[in-house]
Amino acid sequence: MANELCINILGTSFTITADADEVYLKKVLAQYQAAVKNTQNISGIKDPLNVAILTGFLLCDEFNKLKEQEKQFISDEIDDEAQEVEDRTLRLISKLEHALNLFGENS
């Protein structure tokens, strides 16, 4: 079901239609409004277009940093799992060698 969201930011107003849930759309809008406010506070830029562009750039930067953190987290988890598999394999080899030595001594 399509939902409409009225956006009024940086002196510009328009309405969008999206398939997303209305609560979700409002949440995203609130996040963007907070990001715009933050950009204005840290940059001192007054021109709305420049604020919107810089905000978009900063959000893309944050998104990419989060993606890299996620990749690193996944890589670390894979490394941990690989280490666990290696440890189990070495223990199994040790047990097999021990069993073979016992079997070899009894022959």
* 23-47 pLDDT tens trace: 999 999 999 999 999 999 999 999 9
Structural tokens at position 47 = 């021109």
Asked whether the beta carbons of 22 and 31 are under 8 A apart, the reply is no
> Which residues span the domain enclosing 35?
3-106
- The residue count for the chain: 107
Number of domains present in the structure of the chain? 1
Q: How confident is the model at residue 57 (pLDDT cuts 50, 70, 90)?
A: very high
Say whether pTM exceeds 0.75.
Answer: no
CA distances from 105 to 11, 91, 97, 98 (A): 88, 21, 12, 11
